[in-house]
């Protein structure tokens, strides 16, 4: 392919036309040739036919920068400067080199680090925890409390905050409740922290109507009806050393105790 200094000198008409044609062909072929053009310019393109590499001249016009390789066998363009790393490097996950990667390598690296992708998606051990927004509004189930017996929820490892709503299902009239307490555990109820007394000396069929608790901070916001007035209070439960994964509530009372059906709704998940 022709290369040209791209300078049209004063000359006869036939020589001018020949020189101009050579310059245009050089531009049209990206100055292609087995060796670099003898005359260069900043940002000039050159296709190195010996190595099938497209190059650009530096701004300082002092070096050639590889742009990429044109594979003449597959008619494909391969970007220069990107490294292909071994599968073991992807699995290690510590190398910061920017490199080419196939979907198959990504899948293999994830599975090597954390297990089968499909199994993880179905909740297998080691699966990523549900994010806060995705978890909000999911029912955690129902249970009956009261009559001096603690009842509640376990396996709350992925839950950071939930709402508890109470409804009286059985009680003598009037219902007499002397105190209401909650307690927390980090081993799914094998052991419990000292209970937090929410209220004492109250007389209501539903001792606690609504309760919101943050399992990471122990903060409890609750409402109960006392003397026909709605009262909202805030207290902090005793936290265990590890992440809280179990919760219980109990109403301690005399012979006229209320049985309350509680329903729990997740508000926030742990990430």
In a domain, 127, yes or no: no
Please indicate, yes or no, whether residues 168 and 253 belong to a single structural domain of this protein.
yes
Mean pLDDT of the chain: 78
Please indicate, yes or no, whether residues 137 and 255 belong to a single structural domain of this protein.
yes
The residue from 121, 148, 178 where one domain ends is 121
Nearest of 70, 80, 41 to residue 57 by alpha carbon: 41
In a domain, 2, yes or no: no
- d(Cα 244, Cα 51) in Å, to the nearest integer? 64
Please indicate, yes or no, whether residues 68 and 170 belong to a single structural domain of this protein.
no
Give the model's pLDDT for residue 144: 67
**pLDDT greater at residue 145 or residue 123:** 145
Please indicate, yes or no, whether residues 99 and 172 belong to a single structural domain of this protein.
no
Specify burial of residue 180 (Cβ count, 10 A radius: 0-12, 13-18, 19+): buried
64 falls in which pLDDT band (50, 70, 90)? very high
CA distances from 207 to 104, 144, 181 (A): 58, 13, 10
Please indicate, yes or no, whether residues 69 and 99 belong to a single structural domain of this protein.
no
Please indicate, yes or no, whether residues 97 and 188 belong to a single structural domain of this protein.
no
In a domain, 1, yes or no: no
3-class secondary-structure state, position 160? strand
List pLDDT tens digits, range 189-213: 999 999 999 877 766 655 667 889 9
In a domain, 116, yes or no: yes
Nearest of 190, 189, 224 to residue 204 by alpha carbon: 224
In a domain, 211, yes or no: yes
Q: Quote the number of domains for the chain.
A: 3
Among residues of the chain, what percentage have pLDDT more than 90?
28
- The answer to whether the CB of 250 falls within 8 A of the CB of 180 is yes
Give the model's pLDDT for residue 254: 54
Please indicate, yes or no, whether residues 157 and 249 belong to a single structural domain of this protein.
yes
Give the model's pLDDT for residue 225: 59
In a domain, 6, yes or no: no
Give the model's pLDDT for residue 256: 52
96 falls in which pLDDT band (50, 70, 90)? confident
- Rounded (5°) CA angle 75-77-80: 150
Please indicate, yes or no, whether residues 181 and 246 belong to a single structural domain of this protein.
yes
Please indicate, yes or no, whether residues 115 and 30 belong to a single structural domain of this protein.
no
Half-sphere exposure (Cβ direction) of 57: Cα atoms closer than 13 Å = 17
Give the rounded distance of the alpha carbon of 129 from its chain centre.
9
**pLDDT greater at residue 91 or residue 50:** 50
- The answer to whether the CB of 214 falls within 8 A of the CB of 255 is no
Mean pLDDT of 98-114: 72
Please enumerate in sequence order all residues whose Cβ is within 8 A of that of 223, keeping only pairs 6 or more positions apart, or say none: 208, 209, 210, 211, 230, 231, 232, 233
Out of 107-121, 174-188, 223-237, which region has the weakest mean confidence (pLDDT)? 107-121
Instruction: Tell me the CATH number at 174.
Output: 2.60.120
Domain that holds residue 159: 132-269
Mean pLDDT of 6-22: 86
Please indicate, yes or no, whether residues 69 and 102 belong to a single structural domain of this protein.
no
In a domain, 115, yes or no: yes
* C-alpha radius of gyration, the chain, whole number: 37
Please indicate, yes or no, whether residues 251 and 186 belong to a single structural domain of this protein.
yes
Please indicate, yes or no, whether residues 59 and 115 belong to a single structural domain of this protein.
no
Out of 38-47, 98-107, 251-260, which region has the weakest mean confidence (pLDDT)? 251-260
In a domain, 5, yes or no: no
pTM of the shown model = 0.48
Backbone phi, then psi, for 97, in 5-degree steps? -70, 130
């Amino acid at each position: 392919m022709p290369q040209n200094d791209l300078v049209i000198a004063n000359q006869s008409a036939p020589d001018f036309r020949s020189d101009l044609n050579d310059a245009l062909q050089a531009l049209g072929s990206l100055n292609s040739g087995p060796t670099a053009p003898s005359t260069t310019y900043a940002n000039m393109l050159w296709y190195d036919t010996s190595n099938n590499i497209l190059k650009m001249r530096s701004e300082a016009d002092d070096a050639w920068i590889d742009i990429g390789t044109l594979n003449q066998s597959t008619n494909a363009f391969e970007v220069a400067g990107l490294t292909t790393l071994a599968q073991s490097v992807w699995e290690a996950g510590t190398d910061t080199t920017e490199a080419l990667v196939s979907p198959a390598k990504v899948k293999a690296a994830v599975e090597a680090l954390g297990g089968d992708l499909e199994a993880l998606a179905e909740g297998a051990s080691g699966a990523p925890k549900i994010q806060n927004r995705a978890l909000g509004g999911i029912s955690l189930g129902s249970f009956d409390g009261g009559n001096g017996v603690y009842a509640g929820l376990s396996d709350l490892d992925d839950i950071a905050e939930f709402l508890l709503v109470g409804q009286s299902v059985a009680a003598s009239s009037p219902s007499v409740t002397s105190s209401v307490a909650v307690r927390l555990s980090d081993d799914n109820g094998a052991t419990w922290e000292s209970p937090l007394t929410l209220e004492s000396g109250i007389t209501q069929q539903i001792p606690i109507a609504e309760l919101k608790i943050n399992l990471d901070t122990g903060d409890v916001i609750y409402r109960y009806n006392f003397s026909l007035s709605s009262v909202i209070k805030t207290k902090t439960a005793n936290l265990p050393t590890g992440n809280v994964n179990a919760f219980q509530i109990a109403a301690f009372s005399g012979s006229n105790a209320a049985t309350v059906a509680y329903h729990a709704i997740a508000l926030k998940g742990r990430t």
